[in-house]
């Protein structure tokens, strides 16, 4: 199971509010503008959130590895 802790959720919320995206209003009623990606590796988990406009937020905390 892939999860996001409270700190990561707060980072996503702040990033989502502050990045200038011309697509915020152009995605349908079902959403889909943000894609959450969890990539398990031998060292730890890579976590990214990508907006439909192409901007990406890297939430990977390699200090935990």
In a domain, 30, yes or no: no
Tell me: the pLDDT tens digits for 39-59? 999 999 999 999 988 999 999
pLDDT, position 23: 66
In a domain, 26, yes or no: no
Which residue segment(s) compose the domain that 6 sits in? 1-15+36-65
In a domain, 21, yes or no: no
In a domain, 23, yes or no: no
CB 46 within 8 A of CB 39: yes
In a domain, 43, yes or no: yes
Whether residue 11 has pLDDT greater than 70: yes
In a domain, 28, yes or no: no
CA dihedral 21, 17, 65, 43 (to 10 degrees): -30
Q: Is the pTM of this model over 0.85?
A: no
Number of domains in the chain: 1
Whether residue 30 has pLDDT greater than 80: no
In a domain, 44, yes or no: yes
Rg, Å, the chain Cα set:
13
Percent of the chain with pLDDT over 90: 49
């Amino acid at each position: 199971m892939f999860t996001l802790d409270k700190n990561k959720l707060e980072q996503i919320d702040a990033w989502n509010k502050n990045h200038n995206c011309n697509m915020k209003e152009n995605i349908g009623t079902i959403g889909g503008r943000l894609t959450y990606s969890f990539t398990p590796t031998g060292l730890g988990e890579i976590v990214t959130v990508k907006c439909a406009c192409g901007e990406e937020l890297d939430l990977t905390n390699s200090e935990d590895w």
